[in-house]
């Protein structure tokens, strides 16, 4: 509809159709990790120390800081204390709980149960005498946590199909692979296919390591990508699952996909000539930030919203026992 005047009065704002991907946003592991910090603060008061960002989202971290959480990168930044020390949802190398124990720190582990499953799997396969290939991204805390479950040199990181082609096995009959939980489903399938072709005896996890939430969020983006001119992913630049959603959107036929942290980051020039946009959020992004983006769109456009649901999630994880018992 052509504008009747230069001002965007409600009747003259350009129309914009928003396809809202579902599922999006928080997964059960993120939900649980945030709950662990909040329950620890409620039960033990502040400060509650958290090693590494509890989940990869600045808004979440800042809100927990405001409630009394103190974030550190390493345990040696924590003074002698009886207050809780929480490990992030991404999981930690074995050396971290050991260091906490040697200092008698009161540690609470917020590792996502699905990441913990990968740790157990890697340990089991290693105990069978197998060389472990970990499909994942170098430097990601989850990869560091999984690698750190086993002795140095027991795990080889495979980041790409090219890495899988180049890997030289000492004993092809004693190989196994596990994966980071937040990878691209399609990329990972490609890497696994190369490994299985080259090493037919390789053993994989009993059940796929990529978590249900990563898989579901990618499927939801695929369902909308071909119908819109722009996909907006709400998430953090260091969030692996959010970055994957941008890639999945572009590969599934969307001309342009962008990752933003908040509504203030919306790239308005990218809306030029676009009549439909897709909106989703990574597994560590709260729904508040999605609402903020929709509100910003309503300020400029006559917005109609259609939710596109590809799965219903009803998964929830229990919090650790220390936080379930009432305070003495």
d(CA 108, CA 41) in angstroms, rounded, equals 12
144 in catalytic set: no
Q: 251 burial class (0-12, 13-18, 19+ CB within 10 angstroms)?
A: middle
Give the Cα separation of 37 and 323 in Å (integer). Answer: 10
Residue 71: other Cβ atoms inside 10 A? 18
In a 13 Å sphere around the CA of 270, the CA atoms on its Cβ side amount to 19
Query: Pick the catalytic residue: 142, 144, 208, 250?
Result: 142
User: How many Å apart are CA 270 and CA 268, to the nearest integer?
Assistant: 5
Active site residues: 142
């Amino acid at each position: 509809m052509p504008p009747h005047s230069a001002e965007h009065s409600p009747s003259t704002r350009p129309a914009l159709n928003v396809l809202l991907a579902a599922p999006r946003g928080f997964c059960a592991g993120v939900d649980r990790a945030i709950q662990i910090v909040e329950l620890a603060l409620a039960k033990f008061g502040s400060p509650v120390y958290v090693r590494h960002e509890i989940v990869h989202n600045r808004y979440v971290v800042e809100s927990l800081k405001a409630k009394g959480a103190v974030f550190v990168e390493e345990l040696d930044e924590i003074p002698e204390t009886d207050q809780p020390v929480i490990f992030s949802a991404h999981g930690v190398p074995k050396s971290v709980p050991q260091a906490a124990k040697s200092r008698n720190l009161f540690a609470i582990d917020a590792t996502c149960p699905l990441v913990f499953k990968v740790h157990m799997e890697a340990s089991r396969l290693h105990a069978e005498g197998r060389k472990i290939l970990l499909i994942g991204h170098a430097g990601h805390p989850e990869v560091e946590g999984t690698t750190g479950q086993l002795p140095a040199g027991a795990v080889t990181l495979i980041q790409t199909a090219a890495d899988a082609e180049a890997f030289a096995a000492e004993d092809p009959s004693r190989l196994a692979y596990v994966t980071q939980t937040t990878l691209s489903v399609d990329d990972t399938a490609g890497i696994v296919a190369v490994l299985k072709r080259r090493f037919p005896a390789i053993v994989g996890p009993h059940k796929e390591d990529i978590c249900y939430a990563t898989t579901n969020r990618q499927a939801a983006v695929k369902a909308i990508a071909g119908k819109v001119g722009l996909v907006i992913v709400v998430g953090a630049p260091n969030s692996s699952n959010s970055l994957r959603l941008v890639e999945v959107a572009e590969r599934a036929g969307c001309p342009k996909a962008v990752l933003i942290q908040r509504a203030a980051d919306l790239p308005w020039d990218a809306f030029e000539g676009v009549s439909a946009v897709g909106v989703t959020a990574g597994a560590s992004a709260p729904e508040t930030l999605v609402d903020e983006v929709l509100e910003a769109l309503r300020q400029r456009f006559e917005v109609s919203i259609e939710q596109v649901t590809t799965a219903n999630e009803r998964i929830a994880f229990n919090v650790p026992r220390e936080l379930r018992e009432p305070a003495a």
